[in-house]
Amino acid sequence: QVQLVESGGDLVQPGGSLRLSCAASGFAFSVYTMNWYRQAPGKQRELVATITRGGSTKYADSVKGRFTISRDNAKNTVYLQMNSLKPEDTAVYYCNAELVLGSYWGRGTQVTVSS
């Protein structure tokens, strides 16, 4: 079955960095676009970054220049490198795959940016 497992969330000080990972299984990872979303308390889930099968990327305006999405098709893993973190980046971060069979989500990983 399709599984997406996020890891790498932590408590970090403002200005710090984290790298999130999402390990995928159960589908042909290399042919699908992968997404990172986040949801802060009391807010709607928002799209943070997207990477296509060909490696093209898109970012939310709020993270452009600070976050980088990448993928390793040999490891069936998508990453989100987050630099210059701000308190407003605090959220649960989710990995997402929009497959032919439907939309799949991981359980999320908590990122907290606080001094």
pLDDT band at residue 92 using 50, 70 and 90 as cut-offs: very high
pLDDT tens digits, residue range 25-80?
A: 999 999 999 999 999 999 999 999 999 999 999 999 999 999 999 999 999 999 99
pLDDT average, residue stretch 6-28? 97
In order of 60, 86, 114, the CA distances from 47 in angstroms are: 7, 17, 22
Distance CA 79, CA 82 (A): 10
Q: Which of 17, 52, 23, 10 is nearest to 35 (CA)?
A: 52
Distance CA 17, CA 63 (A): 13
Q: Which of 32, 33, 35 is nearest to 46 (CA)?
A: 35
Is pLDDT above 90 for 101? Answer: no
In order of 54, 57, 66, 115, the CA distances from 79 in angstroms are: 15, 12, 14, 25
